[in-house]
Amino acid sequence: MQADAAVRPLVTHLYGEETKVWTDIARSLGAFGPRVLGPITAFLRDRPPPRPGDEAVLRAARAMAEIA
């Protein structure tokens, strides 16, 4: 599926984007619906344990909130 092929690069950019564009990426991921939960959580699992205020966790939460 083309949509699934687009999700992984968007997840990578969600965490790597240095500007506020990451909020638009989060919104785009949310438009894909629940299917992005797996790739987002997989990316978080592969990272070191989060610390308070971890930017990656905040970005993941924003993308997940956009699903609703």
pLDDT tens for residues 7-28? Answer: 989 999 999 899 999 999 999 9
Q: What is the pLDDT of residue 3?
A: 65
For the beta carbon of residue 61, count every other beta carbon within 10 angstroms.
12
Give the chain's mean pLDDT.
Answer: 90
Please give the full DSSP string across 15-46, using - where no structure is assigned.
HH--STHHHHHHHHHHHTGGGGHHHHHHHHHT
Six-digit token string for 7: 């999700």
Structure pTM? 0.85
**pLDDT above 80: residue 1:** no
pLDDT in tens, 29-61: 999 999 999 999 998 888 888 788 788 889 999
Question: Which phi and psi (to 5°) does residue 18 adopt?
Answer: -90, -10
